[in-house]
Structure 1
Amino acid sequence: MQEPKGTLIALGGGDDDGLISLIRSEICSTDSHIEVITTATLEPMESGQAYKEAFEELGCNSVRFMHIDEENEPDKPQNLERIKQAEVIFFTGGNQLRLKEFLAGSKLHHLMQQRFQHEEITIAGTSAGAAAMSNRMIYEGYGSYSLMKGEVKTTDGLSFINNLFIDTHFTERGRFGRLAHAVTKRPEFVGIGLGEETGIIIKSANHVEVFGTGVVTIMDGSKVRYTNIPDVKEGDPIAIENLTMHLLVEGHEYCLTDRTFRPLSQQKRSADAATAK
């Protein structure tokens, strides 16, 4: 299967001015069509208008927002036409289960996936909008309870990329346990924990680069030698041996295909900066 031509950008939540500035400065021009999807939030008008104004303050002049829920079905002809024109699709925060319930499996969703696979489109999101990007997403597991068997729940996501768990508000809400639990149960998945005001750019479904002020946590369960998860009963604490973890900050990269960590070379950073101008 060919590598997708699209780019994913995911933010861990919190203040998203840095994400909006990144999209404007490195991804799109003032005339690019930006579509904000407000399905995850329970305050769609307020959220959509706020993002529209934030992009417009940076000079973007073609920004619209779209709400899909039980009263606004996704596959209206005007929605499909707008997504055909979009160069950036931005998913707001809220509750990621709403994205699965009201958007996943629709014609609109399939159109987004097809465009991401075959065109140079950008899919961006913050908080819930970031957590839903992969083919599986974590939606439950809190504090110390997340280290008890059965307390971490996952479900289908939007499948712009496969075999990732993207968890948000990671350090601020103590989500280390649930990501460790998730990748140990599904070692074919890489876990990515995003702190607030910190995010990742994923190109070619492989190269993960960091932006923002905080830390990105990478968890790899592929080298786990032992876990008691298959043997203990629901509610019992779990044991894991040899879980691999990396901490990335801006200027570093993680490659998903070979699961390697490296600092970005000065030459590469300079080339990227030149390309963005």
Structure 2
Amino acid sequence: MQRVKGKLIALGGGDDDGLIKLIRSEICDIHSHIEVIATATPKPDDALDSGKAYKEAFEELGCSNVRFMRIDEDHEADTPENLERISSANVIFFTGGDQLRLSKFLGNSRLLEIMSRRYREEDIIISGTSAGAAVMSDRMIYDGYGHYSLIKGEMKTTEGFGFINNIYIDTHFAERGRFGRLAHAVAHDPTHIGIGLSEETGIIIKEGNLVEVFGTGVVTIIDASKIKFSRVRKAEENEPIAVENLVMHLLVEGYRYCLKEHLFQPMEYQPVLNGNKI
């Protein structure tokens, strides 16, 4: 299978200065074409302000080719101009807000098809914070609060952008008590791995497999592949769920997780499998 050439960079929310600096360090060339998309922000004026603020943040770091793309109730995704701009972008950045707006206005669009193809085939960065991070996978969580999320029917998921499959990315993870809903999600879909991002903490996913941590906090991995017993699907609505043998890992900067191998390791460790480093 051909390796994915693009990178996903996702932040759990909060202060994103570190994220912007990381993207700047990854692209190297100050003339790289950056597109900021603030569709997740519900109010048009707020979205405009958010887009302009991120544009200025990149420009303050020397980036000279930053543009803000409006996609919302009054601006459709698949305009010829948008398709051309996304086809030439080196970085695509999704701001925070409501991830359901992202799926509503970009889901099943030609624009999203171009992003997905370029992520697989080209050296492109797709990045996002909060809602812009949660939407990256094929499935995303959009509802579930505290201990109630461990009750059947209280945790809700829907389709995401599908840049990467078989993971859930949840944001503001520690700060908003979202362990329950991520555990519920992966127990319901045990082929998926849950990734919980604390604020000011994020991940870089390389080759569609290697999850590396950046930032000051903790990334939580919840792996359901070794479940021995689960009552998630058989439970009635409004009943609590029961699961045996969910596996959890806590990652900080300097460590990574290999999704396909279900492997936790320090960054300096480079095992060789079949003559190739993981």
Per the normalisation by structure 1, the TM-score is: 0.95
Work out the number of aligned pairs and report it. 268
Q: 1:125 is paired with a residue of what secondary structure?
A: strand
Quick one: distance in 1 between partners of 2:210 and 2:118? 20
Structure 1: how far apart are the matches of 2:14 and 2:32?
25
Q: Give 1:266 shift.
A: 7.7
What corresponds to 1:264 in structure 2? 267
User: Could you tell me which amino acid in structure 2 is paired with residue 8 of structure 1?
Assistant: L
Q: Which residue of 2 aligns with 1:273?
A: none
Task: Tell me, yes or no, if structure 1 residue 147 matches structure 2 residue 150.
Answer: yes
Equivalent position of 2:91 in the other structure: 88
CA shift for structure 1 position 229: 1.7
Determine the structure 2 residue equivalent to 1:66: 69
TM-aligned CA deviation for residue 232 of structure 1: 2.2
Which runs of structure 2 are paired with 1:32-51 in the superposition (5 Å)? 32-42=32-42, 43-51=46-54
Question: Which shifted more, 70-79 or 257-266?
Answer: 257-266
Once the two structures are overlaid, the 10-residue window that deviates more, 90-99 or 258-267, is 258-267
Indicate whether 1:255 and 2:258 are aligned: yes
Of 234-243 and 13-22, more deviation after overlay is shown by: 234-243
Matched with 2:19 is 19
Partner of 2:176: 173
Query: Residues 1-277 of structure 1 correspond to what in structure 2 (within 5 A)?
Result: 1-42=1-42, 43-265=46-268
- Looking at structure 2, the residues matched to 49 and 5 of structure 1 have their Cα atoms a distance apart, in angstroms, of 29
Equivalence for 2:275:
none
CA offsets per residue over residues 169-210 of structure 1, 9 Å max, x none? 000000000000000010000000000000000001100000
CA distance in 2, matches of 1:201, 1:267: 17
Greater mean deviation of Cα atoms: 230-239 or 164-173: 230-239
- The sequence identity of aligned pairs, in percent, is 66
C-alpha distance in 2 between matches for 1:224 and 1:196: 29
Q: Structure 1 CA distance, aligned partners of 2:101 and 2:178?
A: 21
Shift of 1:70: 1.8
Deviation at 1:29, TM superposition (A): 1.8
For 1:222, the aligned partner's letter is S
Q: Deviations over 1:71-91 (max 9, x none)?
A: 101111111111111000000
The CA deviation string for residues 218-265 of structure 1, in whole angstroms up to 9 with x for no partner, is 000111111222332111111111100000000001000010000111
Q: Which consecutive residues of structure 1, in runs of 5 or more, have no partner in the other structure? A: 269-277
Runs of 4+ in structure 1 deviating by more than 4 angstroms, as ranges, are none
**CA drift at 1:15:** 0.3
Deviation at 1:267, TM superposition (A): 8.6
Which residue identity is paired with 1:172? E
Distance between the aligned counterparts of 2:194 and 2:234, measured in 1? Answer: 23
Please give the secondary structure, in 2, of the residue aligned with 1:254: strand
What letter corresponds to residue 216 of structure 1 in structure 2?
V
Give the distance between the partners of 1:77 and 1:8, measured in 2 at CA. Answer: 25
**Aligned-residue CA RMSD (Å):** 1.3
